[in-house]
Structure 1
């Protein structure tokens, strides 16, 4: 049984990688896997759910690789800048993760996934990064008067700015993101109070 689910997953991942979410359909996935469409629904309620599972796995891999590549001896400003750069680079290099920037696709997928799994189910931020923020706070490198989870949401907001490039103006990127990150980090690192 699990072999069929694994095969569906692998075939879908390959098709999503090559064709994108919109241009891949369930019958193509099952045809590639050599099984009937009905078999798909034994394992996944929708194409969106399967895509989100693949997306989350790819995102987790990128997070892990990025965290392993960081030079944690540097200042919080440098580490966060490096993390954002690695995240952007990895996302742009991966066709599945790149769907994050396809607003029409991703809004629909995320909405359905949240409905199925609850509001907190989609956490695209760096789980392991929270521990680093706590460490910086303990060392006096980052403000303690702001809850560490709130700081993580500030980082999430920085990342989400990228999805609004068209509304803001493409000509301002990536400089806008760099300036905002710099200003926010300097504010978070001001431990004078």
Structure 2
């Protein structure tokens, strides 16, 4: 039995990966899936809707892989730098996730990310990391005069800086993230 939704998803993922968001259109996807344009809209409301479904799945997969690869007992500075590095490498090596950094596409992706409650979909990572922060606070490895939610918001702010790397200067960007992480952690662990 043909699974049209999966066919659309798979064809869309392949085309977005090859051509990017901007250079892929619904007719390309429907042609690859062997369906009519009307059929596409029975499953997805727009190209953006399909892309975000794919983006969310890829993002969730990346975050789960990262969580499985880390050692939560590691020193906070080393662990957070590793998390940031793995996330950045994962985002940049996946053509779907890399679109997050595409200036021409970012506002559309961000809007759909918020509408689809994207952060809620990766709450497992934030909840897991929040537990690590609480553990560090209990062990005296991290300041406990700042609640763990605020600390998570600080880390989110560092990650969000990635969307401004061109404004910051590409030649400085990797070092900027590294320094921001280091300086922030030194302030949180002293």
Per the TM superposition, whether the score is higher than 0.5 is yes
Is 1:107 the equivalent of 2:107? yes
Q: Could you tell me how far apart the structure 2 residues matched to 1:92 and 1:68 are?
A: 19
Is 1:4 the equivalent of 2:17? no
**Alpha carbons 2:100, 2:109 under 8 Å: kept:** no
SS in structure 2 of the partner of residue 171 of structure 1: coil
List per-residue Cα deviations over 1:164-190 (Å, max 9, x = no partner).
112112222211111111010111112
Is 1:180 the equivalent of 2:180? yes
Q: Could you tell me how far apart the structure 1 residues matched to 2:140 and 2:160 are?
A: 27
Q: Could you tell me how far apart the structure 2 residues matched to 1:143 and 1:56 are?
A: 33
Structure 2: segments with no counterpart, 5+ residues: none
Deviation of 1:122 after TM superposition, in Å, equals 2.2
**Alpha carbons 2:21, 2:99 under 8 Å: kept:** yes
Partner of 1:138: 138
**Alpha carbons 1:59, 1:97 under 8 Å: kept:** yes
For the aligned residues, what is the CA RMSD? 1.8
SS in structure 1 of the partner of residue 153 of structure 2: helix
TM-score by length of 2: 0.91
- May I ask how many residue pairs the two structures share in their alignment? 186
Partner of 1:94: 94
List per-residue Cα deviations over 1:141-177 (Å, max 9, x = no partner).
2222222122112111111112111211222221111
Partner of 1:59: 59
Q: Could you tell me how far apart the structure 2 residues matched to 1:179 and 1:141 are?
A: 19
List per-residue Cα deviations over 1:51-86 (Å, max 9, x = no partner).
111111111111111111112221111100001111
